[in-house]
Structures are given as C-alpha cells and as structure tokens.
Amino acid sequence: MNNSIKRIDNYKEYFTKEYLMGPNSLRLLDEMLAKYPLKEGGRVMDLGCGMGITSMFLAKEAKVNVFATDLWISATQNAENFKKWGVDDRIIPIHADANDLPYAEGYFDAIVSVDAYHYFAAKKGYMQEKMLPYLKKGGVLVIAVPGLKEKPVGEDYEIMMEWFEGDKEAYETFQTREWWVDLIGKGDDFEIVMDIDLDCFDEAWNDWFISGHEYGIKDKRYFDRGMGEYLSFIGLVIRRI
C-alpha cells in the first residue's frame, strides 16, 4: 500500500466549480477531523452544508449520521446528490435557517460548520443561545471559519473593501482567531478545546482558484494584490460541559 496517498486525494472529483462554494471545504474538514476526530456512529448536524460535499465526507470518513442543513441550497437538490453519491441512507437533507433551527435540544453529538459560521454567528451570545442547546452534554461544535491574521490598513484596506464590493457588514464578519475566542468567551456549560489557524490554507484556496468558478477567478486577482497575506482559516472546537 502506498502510504503517501492521503484520504483527501480520493475526493478530487468534487474539487470542481459544480460543488465548491469557496476555499476547498473538504480539505478544511479533513484537517479539522484529523486534529479532532469525531466519535463513530454519532449524530452530526452539518450546518451551512452548501452542496453537501462536507456531509458526504462526514458520512464516509467519520462514519457518522448527518443532518445536512442549509439555507441557500434546497433539501431537494441535496437529496439528489446524496442519492447519486450512495450516502442517502446516512444523510438527511434539511432546509433551515441557523437562526431558527428545527431540532430537538440535546440531540447532537456534534455540530460541524465549514466556511459558513461567519454568516450567522459573528454576534455576541449566538453560540450560547442558538448552538449549544442542540448539543448533548460532552458534544462538540467543530468550526472552520474564514478570518483575518491582521486587519489591513491604508491602501490595503481600500483594496480589501474593493474585494468586498464596499459591503462593510460582510467584511466585519472576517475577524481574527483572538476575536472569535473573545466573542465566544467563557461559561460554566462550555469550553473552547481547540483554536488554531489551519495548515491547509494555501491548498484550500488554490483548489478554489483553479476550480474555474467565476468567484474563484475574482478571488485570485485579490490574492495576487496581496490580500491573501491578511487572511487565515480559523479552526475552533467548543465542547458542551
């Protein structure tokens, strides 16, 4: 057996503009799961699952049962993909808003969110009020979220704003790891057990650039103008106590 072949290499057919919605979510998830493995057979919500490739990876590699939950992509579209990929017995597609989830409290062993958490969770109290209740005690929230290493200033801030098309609200959801740790804060019923900058940053972005997606081509232009230097992909694991 060739040990240099990594499990992620088996998923290259999904590194395309049809399935990627940003930096390669499978690489981001693969690294998070390598650093914080989930319990086999558990019940997992994939929150902001997009086209469902992360849900498929969770079902196949972590061997968990998944509730693939998303707002922009319909449950019907994802159900078709899960059937096509032969994982429809282990994944239930759900169309829902992260601000108003339709689940029972204390139901999940884990909630996983890859490249989606910043859209709905960059506000004080969100994690405690809208996420934590759905986890069992001892359950974990596993997050990979895009953010900053440092804030650009001067001309670089102007270029960043151009990239964000002047949308300051969207830009404000890009924050540093320290900012996220501070936002989550401390509590008697949870603890942050991991906060890292992910190693696969370059590879994940590069897969997106070469996917042929029009947004990937646009993003590459801003990386070429130095914006990548400011960015990070932040990995967080929070455990309910």
Ligand X SMILES: C[S@@+](CC[C@H](N)C(=O)[O-])C[C@H]1O[C@@H](n2cnc3c(N)ncnc32)[C@H](O)[C@@H]1O
Contact stretch for ligand X (CB under 6 A) within 18-26, 37-45, 82-90, 176-184: 18-26
For residue 114, the minimal CB distance to ligand X (Å) is 4
Instruction: Give the residue carrying structure tokens 């859209």.
Output: 119
Distance (Å, rounded) from C-alpha 186 to C-alpha 183? 9
Position 99 contacts ligand X (CB under 6 A): yes
Q: Name the residue nearer to ligand X (CB basis): 49 or 184.
A: 49
Distance (Å, rounded) from C-alpha 98 to C-alpha 221? 32
Quick one: which of 70, 109, 207, 219 contacts ligand X (CB under 6 A)? Answer: 70
Contact stretch for ligand X (CB under 6 A) within 5-13, 115-123, 181-189, 231-239: 115-123
Quick one: which of 14, 15, 21, 61 contacts ligand X (CB under 6 A)? Answer: 21
- DSSP-derived 3-state class of residue 66: strand
Burial code of 57-95, b = ≥16 C-beta within 10 A, e = fewer?
A: bbbbbbebebbbbbbebebeebbebbeebebbebbbbbb
- Could you say which residues in the range 191-230 bind ligand X, by CB under 6 A? none
Residue 235, token pair as written in the block: 């990995």
Measured on CA atoms in the order 85, 30, 133, 120, is the torsion positive or negative? negative
For residue 154, the minimal CB distance to ligand X (Å) is 28
What region does 213 belong to: left with phi over 0, alpha with psi -120 to 50, or beta? beta
Position 31 contacts ligand X (CB under 6 A): no
Which residue of this chain has its Cβ atom nearest to ligand X in the complex? Answer: 50
Quick one: which of 89, 97, 129, 150 contacts ligand X (CB under 6 A)? Answer: 97
Residues 6+ apart with CB under 8 A from 66: 44, 45, 46, 55, 58, 59, 90, 91, 92
Position 157 contacts ligand X (CB under 6 A): no
For residue 205, the minimal CB distance to ligand X (Å) is 13
- Specify the pairing of strand 65-70 against strand 43-47: parallel
- DSSP-derived 3-state class of residue 124: coil
The secondary element (H helix, E strand) that includes residue 194 is: strand 190-197
Contact stretch for ligand X (CB under 6 A) within 30-38, 75-83, 91-99, 134-142: 91-99
Position 58 contacts ligand X (CB under 6 A): no
Position 66 contacts ligand X (CB under 6 A): no
Quick one: which of 8, 14, 15, 25 contacts ligand X (CB under 6 A)? Answer: 25
Chain residues binding ligand X by CB under 6 A are 21-22, 25, 48-50, 54, 70-73, 97-99, 114-116, 119-120
